[in-house]
Chains A and B, each alone.
Chain A
Amino acid sequence: MMKLKILFGFLLLTVLSCDQRPTAKVVPIDQEGLKQVLVADNEKIKVINFWATWCAPCIEELPYFEKIGASYKNQLDVILISLDEAKSITTAVQPFLENHQIRSKVLLLDDPYAAEWIPLVDHHWDGAIPVTLIISKNKKQFYNKALTYDELEDAINKFL
């Protein structure tokens, strides 16, 4: 009986720890769409990461964003903004999300005039990716570098 109970508990834990969210579908946005993303939310902390399928240091840190988004799903809204070209949505971006089972929200900023929207994100941004922006209703922090999981968790903890 006891053994069964332990087994049951163990199995239940296994099932619950699985990330049940479906794989993301990439949604293209323009500069107006970006402005909306950059507005703070009253309830949740927004964790916005700029990346691309061709960017090796970006790919390296994506699992950390997936993990943190799943671990703090009630407090965080993880938004991954791809800077791939819109024409590569079907050939590269969506296949990438499926291959890597990415479940966070994924947008694609379809606007080559980066000089116009880079300052909207942060005036310290030199244009290199990856970068991460964390926004709550009373706080904003920009990271002009790739993050490790510990760095990301520390950054989030400053907002919780």
Chain B
Amino acid sequence: MKTLKILVILLIGGLAISFFLGMLDHREHKKLFAERPVPNKEKINKKIEREISTTKGYDIGDAATDFSLKNTDGSTTSLKDFEDAKGFIIIFTCNHCPYSVAYEDRIIALDQKYKNVGYPVIAINPNNPKEYPADSFKAMKERAKEKGFTFPYLFDAGQQIYPQYGATKTPHVFLLQKEGKDPIVKYIGAIDDNYQDANAVKNAYLENALQALLSGERIKVTTSTAIGCRIK
């Protein structure tokens, strides 16, 4: 009986101390990290759809679909608007993803270099702003203005387009070339192999593919993988 009493007191004491120590560690912190996405009803239904959609998407040689999407400049943009283009550099990208942000300057440079020879960049944000508030259309407009995007930055409202292409992450590139009426998928993957340092790139996958298309040669590397932020 006495031992039990002592044990209980010891345990209560121990708990109280650990509680107190835990409280001491309760400081306020800055928002350094990704916010937890707010769960919403759509998500549950979407989940099943998405699992199916990840198995689909384009392969090299497939004809890509055209679209009509809201542009941050207030217009609506489709591939058919670019009559003189030989093809397109379609990049699924967004505001919130650090990998996308790391590539913004490189995307602008690609557009400036290849638009004039027939391959403009078309950027598409595929994310649901309910999952990532930083990827709202309003935030897209702000980012496009801030960075001085020289290319259309489109919003995949309702998330109809990215599953058809088979994009799974940002950034995710689809290089298209017009053959007859249809734009044909020629390269799928990353811009290059080093998101941290443009000067330390070993394989400039996208530029190599573009150079091959321009000189009428076979693209040696038609797909590549890189880390990115999962589209939600």
Contact = CB atoms under 8 A, between A and B. Distances in A.
B8 interface: yes
Contacts of B18: 18
Interface stretch (B27-35, B79-87, B147-155): B27-35
Interface residues of B, number: 43
A56 B8 contact: no
A125 B35 contact: no
Contacts of A114: 193, 195, 225-227
Contacts of A155: none
Given A57-B232, A114-B193, A129 B33 contact: no
Interface in B210-232: 224-232
B8 A7 contact: yes
Contact of A59 (B34, B203, B224, B227): B34
Chain B at the A interface: SS class: loop
A54 to B, nearest CB: 5
Chain A at the B interface: SS class: helix
Given A1-B1, A8-B11, A92 B54 contact: no
B7 A56 contact: no
Contacts of A4: 1, 4-5, 8
Contacts of A96: 32-33
9 contacts: A4-B1, A5-B4, A15-B11, A15-B15, A91-B32, A112-B200, A113-B193, A115-B203, A145-B51
Interface of B: 1, 4-5, 7-8, 11-12, 14-15, 18, 29, 32-37, 51, 54, 97-98, 131-132, 168-169, 190, 193-197, 200, 202-203, 224-232
